[in-house]
Structure 1
Amino acid sequence: MTDSQYLTEARNLGTGSFSRRSALTGLAAFGALALAGCQTGPSSDDDAANDAQGDFPRTVEHAYGSTTIDEAPQRVATIAWVNQDVVLALGVVPVGMAATDFGGNDNQSTDWFDDALAENSGEVPTKWSETDGLDFQAIAAAEPDLIVGVYSGMTEEDYNRLSEIADTIAPPKDTAAFGAAWDETTRMIGQALGRDDQAEDLISSVEEQLSQAAEENPQLEGKTFIYGTVDPSAEEQISIYTDVDNRPRFLKALGMEQAPVVVEAEGEQPDAFFIGWSPERADELESDVLVSWAADESARDAIESDDLLNKIPAVANDRLVLQTDGQETLSVSAASPLSIPWAIQNVVPQIAQVLAPTESASPTA
């Protein structure tokens, strides 16, 4: 799949920026961090907020150079997705953010973001749609003093225009569009907010939850996976996510392994988020489980009845995990410190269930 095709899908999978069970259980380990200085714009408790922040000015390096932030940000706006989760998890309520136009809830947000916002009694941020690109006018109207786009497809032209509005943090150097890992995103945003220590604590908390999930689901250890899209009606019927993408990163953090056939194919396209795969070679996609997403459950019947796609070993062995809930898809594809605990509760059980060992027949005398 080409970069342009990936970015088209990115627009459909997230807030559209190129531009449920509660997540509070997962947030409990670091909820105190957010409570110690949560703010939206200027606060009446500025001293408490500033106690949680490091020294300023500070400079953040990114793909388009560097940004020096003279004072602790008071009004933070975010673009794309993931960024708003990290900002909130670090104790700052964004004044503005992109609406979650696909994969979100009725609030054009996500359950995990809304739960964290409610936990912190924060005001609902202003939202704008980014399905047709960045809305510079709406971003400016939010009057931010910092714009965060670490996880995004921000171009240099976008960066220059955003920088005219406020200090802007672009994606990391040498990272593809929407390619920043959740922990790297968290560290970089923590640096911009002057909350480096909180960012490290947050990362450690999420990593501990991933480790615990792996321990509680030992059937995942060492199992091979293919995470992709399988759709008989699509022009490219099989697309597979590579290790550059968040989805394989998530499963590998649980002790699973990318299928060898994918690892071999990745070597030919090391920077690609996706690799296309011919349906005529579907039987070569050997793995213990296949995770895919679709608009609704009818896609399963279409896959299983397709003469080529049903030869994918995981499909033939009834080990296809088909995500039809947009938030389930988004919680892993746009992984963040808020979405990962939610995904552990809502996505991991589905994968663990299809990999659960079956009872063998009792031995005969």
Structure 2
Amino acid sequence: MTLAGCSTGAVGAGGTTGAGTDNTTTDTFPVTVKHKFGETVIKSAPRRPATVSWVNADVAIALGVIPVGMPKDDWGGNAQGSTPWKDAALQKAGAAVGSEKGPAQYSEVDGVNFTEVAKTNPDIILAAYSGLTQEDYDKLSKIAPVIAYPEAPYATSWQDSTTMIGAALGRSQTAKDLIAATEKTITGQAEKYPQIKGKTYIYGNLEPDKSDGVNVYLSADNRPKFLTSIGMVLAPVVVEAEKGKTGFFIPWSAEKANQLASQVFVSWVPDAKTKDAIVKDPLLGQIPAVKKGAFVADTDNTLTLAISASSPLSLPWALDAFLPELGAAASKA
């Protein structure tokens, strides 16, 4: 089986399966998975996957495979370096963090933790969503076969991550079912907020205390992918600005903030005070959607993580908290 990494574009959400859903391998091995750094041949069904970066552990757990090792969620995580959605799935599988059957955890504050990954003795390393460099990939490949991202760092949609990891673990059909159920749920949840559909949006990072002021996320990033998946439309000003650009964001001068025309503007902020400062800022406050009050300022880092590092586990958790805020903003557009 050969899996070519491709971009699906849209990102969805859903409330579907958790850990332990399908513990059987249905694919025939060997399996070859193509990615940015070439292709990885997996001779037999992995039994000891380790993960790096975000998303990958979520996907493995959702497919019914508990990693032997996974990174701590140092940003946006809880006291045990995990997340509510991951904790719930691991608990359901009888493999809670800190328990005998739970995954080992390692910090990635300083980058890929090669030493701790090696200690878990993995038979495959999952990094379909990551920012691996060629050097990182080569080092990890000395530990175990590696599944890297298909095209660009931190630009893999959760659908592609699920497809690639599903193939690597011999659970391609389970992955297809998980994607379909997840997308069905996101569609169903979004339909409860008809005011969202068709609205133009910009997802950015607004920081009034910094001289640069604005970063705008591009269509390759999972945050815009999520909003597009629920029927919103990326603002033409961003579509035009991202032509010929690589990466997942572009800086935008605060002096030109009034040119960021969209019906809704979404940003993550450290606290409620920052939202107030943005609205009152003489430059950022001129963003059309901010002036109208069609502004979502997410102050919950865990919620921000759930959307920016989208997975079949995180998005269902995010919907109940995020969609009402987004619907309220869209009603003011």
* TM over 0.5, shorter chain: yes
Tell me the equivalent position of 2:58. Answer: 85
Q: Does 1:166 align with 2:144?
A: yes
Cα distance between partner residues in 2 of 1:242 and 1:26 = 23
Distance 2:14 2:135 in 1: 38
Which aligned pairs between 1:341-360 and structure 2 lie closer than 5 A? Answer: 341-356=316-331
Q: Note if 1:335 corresponds to 2:322.
A: no
Residue 144 of structure 1 is aligned with which of 122, 125, 132?
Answer: 122
Q: Deviations over 1:125-180 (max 9, x none)?
A: 111111111111100111111111110011111111111111211111xx111111
User: Mind listing any 5+ residue stretches in structure 2 that lack a counterpart?
Assistant: 1-12, 96-100
1:114 is displaced (CA, Å) by 0.7
- Among 194, 206, 212, the alignment partner of 2:182 is 206
Equivalent position amino acid for 1:91 in 2: G
2:309 and 2:111 map into 1 onto residues whose CA distance is 18
> Do residues 57 (structure 1) and 30 (structure 2) align?
yes
Counterpart contact for 1:53–1:193, Cα < 8 Å:
no
Whole-angstrom distance in 2 between the partners of 1:102 and 1:30: 25
- In 2, the alpha carbon distance for the partners of 1:216 and 1:305 equals 32
Which protein shows a greater Rg? 1
Counterpart of 1:312 (choices 259, 263, 287) is 287
Q: Does structure 1 retain, via aligned residues, the 8 Å contact 2:14–2:184?
A: no
Give the 3-state SS of the residue equivalent to 2:331 in structure 1.
coil
Partner of 2:17: 30
Cα distance in 1 for partners of 2:148, 2:125 equals: 9
Q: Is contact 2:265–2:290 with CA below 8 Å preserved after alignment?
A: yes
SS of the counterpart of 2:146? Answer: strand
Q: How does 1:67-82 map to 2 (within 5 A)?
A: 67-82=40-55
Tell me how far 1:26 sits from its aligned partner.
5.0
- Count of aligned pairs between the two proteins: 316
- Cα distance in 1 for residues equivalent to 2:21 and 2:327: 34
1:242 to 218, 240, 244: 218
- Which amino acid is the alignment partner of residue 17 of structure 2? F
Percentage identity across paired residues of the two chains? 46
Mark the CA change 1:310 to 1:357 in structure 2 (over 3 Å): closer, same or farther: closer
Question: TM-score of the superposition, structure 2-length normalised?
Answer: 0.91
Counterpart code for 2:252: W
Task: Measure, in 1, the Cα distance between the counterparts of 2:35 and 2:122.
Answer: 19
TM-score by length of 1: 0.83
In the alignment, residue 322 of structure 2 is paired with which amino acid?
Answer: V
**Alpha-carbon distance between aligned partners in 1 of 2:14 and 2:283, rounded to the nearest angstrom:** 40
Distance between the aligned counterparts of 1:52 and 1:272, measured in 2? 35
Residue 96 of structure 2 is aligned to residue 113 of structure 1: no
- For the Cα contact (< 8 Å) 1:151–1:180, is it kept in 2? yes
The structure-2 alpha-carbon separation of the partners of 1:252 and 1:246, relative to structure 1 and needing over 3 Å to count, comes to: same
* Of 85-94 and 280-289, the range deviating more from structure 2: 280-289
Deviation for aligned residue 1:312: 0.8
What stretches of structure 1 of length at least 5 have no aligned partner?
Answer: 1-24, 38-50, 359-365
Rounded Cα–Cα distance in structure 1 between residues aligned with 2:59 and 2:132: 17
